[in-house]
Amino acid sequence: MPHIDVSKTRYLFDGITGDLIPNEIAQAIRSFPVVGNTYLSAIREIATRLENLNDELKVTMDRNPIQQIKTRVKTPKSIMDKLLRKGFDVSVESARKNLDDIAGIRVVCSYMDDIYLIANLLTAQSDIELIRRSDYIQNPKPNGYRSLHLVVTVPIFLSNTTERVKAEIQIRTIAMDYWATLEHEMVYKLGDKKTDAIVQELKDNADVIAQTDARMQKLHDMISAP
């Protein structure tokens, strides 16, 4: 088994103790850090490619369309919870097959057109395989959530093999990210106390932000026109 630096992966075991779950599940979950290395490699690989695109576009467009790149790998507890919630077996093989978002990358852009520009440039790379594209900008979720989601695979070159690893990429504007972050925080705090009025207010705010995004895009196009 490859060496694991426990001090760097301790967070992966948050919430997993002997008395909380059956031993066989705990053992399965504890095997995830080895596999987790490949998911860490995947997000590093994709983040580097996004940074390279941003650097190039700084030259060709005289601005950086990407404002921020955030990455994360799900903890074993989070993986286990999702597998159980969806009725899948708890194992490394099951997680690889059934979960698309173990490796997650969030890309925050300035304008709506930048979202599609970055998505198209990234997925046009010959060794990036697009598995699924979900456009929640053109088709927002019922709660008002907007973002472009891509599920891709990227090749990871290991010591004696090459592995294709899945990752989910969420691309959104600054305004969309602002709403999504606060909505998640509010809903988490409210729990069962969430009312229809609060849900509607959040949806209304999402619509206002979307209108502002569209107006800012229009203004940017006017300023940038030759």
Give the ranges where the chain is alpha helix by DSSP (H).
6-9, 23-30, 32-61, 76-85, 92-98, 112-123, 174-190, 196-224
Q: 213 near 112, Cβ under 8 Å?
A: yes
Stated pTM of the model? 0.85
pLDDT per position in the chain (226 positions), as tens? Answer: 333 343 444 444 455 554 555 666 666 666 666 677 889 999 999 999 999 999 999 999 999 999 999 999 998 888 888 988 999 988 888 889 999 999 999 999 999 999 999 999 999 999 999 999 999 999 999 999 999 999 999 999 988 989 999 999 999 999 999 999 999 999 888 888 788 899 999 999 999 999 999 999 999 999 998 8
Fold held by 6-175: Beta Polymerase; domain 2 (3.30.460)
